[in-house]
Amino acid sequence: MYNHKDFRSVYMQARDRILYCRPFLRLAGKAQVYSTNFGDHVRTRLTHSLEVAQIARTIVVGLNKAYNLNINEELIEAIALGHDLGHTPFGHVGERTLHAITNYNNIKINNILFKKDEIKEELFIDNDNEWELFNQNRGFKHNWQGVRILQYLCRECDNGDMFGDIKDPNVRINVLKGILCHSSLCKDKDDYTKDKLSFYEKHLDLKNFNLDKEWNLEKSSKGIELQIVNYADEIAQRHHDIEDAITFNLITPQVATNIIWGKDKAGVDDVNCPELLHNRRSEVRKYHDNSIRYLRSVSSIIVDFFVRDLISNYQNKGTLSFTTETEEYNKRLSVRLQNIILKSVNVKRMDSRGQYIIEELFKAYATNPLQMPDETLNAVFREYLRQYSKHIEKDINIKGRIEKLLAKKSGFDLFKERYLIRVAFEECCYNERAKDIIFEGENIRVVEKSQGAQLFININQTIFQICLMRVITDYIAGMTDYYAEQEYCKLYGIVHNVLI
């Protein structure tokens, strides 16, 4: 009998682990643009990821055949399937909300966690070390969060690392780097600057990612695999934005045709429409009265047009990019669709609702963390030990013991009995003096007051509360739209069933 490893490459193994992991399954309940309860045929993060993988594979096959290349299709598929693992419920508004909270912009949450209205440098003049702790734990962005999930948060894997036992180190680096770089690492607008995403640089393993000091990929690392997924993501968004707008009656097929192919003020076809696309307008006109047939036809045309443009333009430049004409057209089309969809009343209502729910959930969990599940409380201790070990870099003895504890083979949970997690957590959060041992592992004990022995670790309250903030962020970011709504109802609504 064959072992599965005899016929599955290491990149196939990486792809399949992503495909079968729980964060990937939850993408089915996360909004792409419209909330998942908006209708049966709404796009979700899961369907979007599958479409990106399909388009990316098509581009790979086309390039390989046209130019006799050997681009790794299995790596492309792994990156494409995993590229949105770090996304929040309620679409990009969820990402923006968590980013604001973790940059200490929510006064109420700051007060709950840190007993301060504001967290800024001038308030820590007499305590530079404490300010540094806050300043190194900023930010949330979905591509960075996707890497964090695969490096540290997979409960079914030793040390939470999905690819930790794959012997070829290039697999882990290439897949994670692809997921990270499918979207901008930071940007000067929208407050996603490098200093406001400091958590990820400080607390992720970015060795061999070949990022320079400004988080730009070095030239030698700008592989075509990364470019392919970026463009597949762009193409997928463009075609399903059109589909969703028609499906939910924001525009008619006739209007969609005018948006895609364009008309000038006199009603004449837009001369700026690329010729390869312009010649296919007649294929969709006959379906203006049949929206289902129209959707199938127009999606096929849009995807085919952009993919063909990429493949043909590769011959001219040796790198992957749209032709200048198509790039300009894509920007115009994107703006048109955003004005129609993202500014529509339903999307604005869903965004406001999603932001409100996330902020209220965060307040509830910060006020009483014991409302969260056992495994989430356990994750706070794991995050604390991970961050504390960096805080005591010079103490090699304790640092080594912590690392051994986090990587133990017996599982992700630190505690032998689930109820001990809650006992320990209550001691850390609520008692000024801890009489009992808060946590005891094979080689280490955690208490609130130092006992003068190397086996003991002080609980630094600032670090612990920062870790609590980060794990609440992880927990909410992992929720589906429906789960977040139900949690809100259980915590704030009049609902008889409050059980998890």
pLDDT tens sequence across 80-107: 999 999 999 999 999 999 999 999 999 9
Range 305-333 average pLDDT = 88
Question: Which residues partner with 466 through β-bridges?
Answer: none
| pLDDT score of 433 more than 70 | no
Is 448 a residue whose pLDDT tops 50? Answer: no
pLDDT at 120 over 70: yes
pLDDT digits (tens, 9 = 90+) for 352-385: 999 999 999 999 999 999 999 999 998 998 898 8
Q: Does 230 or 415 have the greater pLDDT score? A: 230
Question: Of residues 442 and 71, which shows the higher confidence score?
Answer: 71
CA nearest neighbour of 147 among 91, 97, 215: 215
User: Which comes out higher in pLDDT, residue 72 or 35?
Assistant: 72
The pLDDT score that the predictor gives to residue 297 is 92
pLDDT in the model for residue 454:
39
∠296-301-305 over CA atoms, to 5°?
155
Predicted confidence band of residue 311 (pLDDT cuts 50, 70, 90): very high
Instruction: Report the mean per-residue pLDDT for the chain.
Output: 84
- At 331 the pLDDT is 92
Q: Which segment of 146-155, 268-277, 304-313 scores lowest on mean pLDDT?
A: 268-277
Share of the chain above pLDDT 70, in %: 84
CA dihedral 213, 470, 151, 475 (to 10 degrees): -140
What region, left, alpha or beta, does residue 411 occupy, with left being phi > 0 and alpha being psi -120 to 50 degrees? left
pLDDT band at 1 (very low <50, low <70, confident <90, very high): very low
464 Cβ contact list (under 8 Å, min separation 6)? 380, 384, 428, 429
Q: What is the pLDDT of residue 236?
A: 95
pLDDT at residue 216 in the model: 67
Label residue 498 by pLDDT band (50, 70, 90): low
Mean pLDDT, residues 131-144: 93
Residue 471 or residue 382, greater confidence? 471
Instruction: State the Cα–Cα distance between residues 23 and 146, nearest whole angstrom.
Output: 9
pLDDT at residue number 270: 53
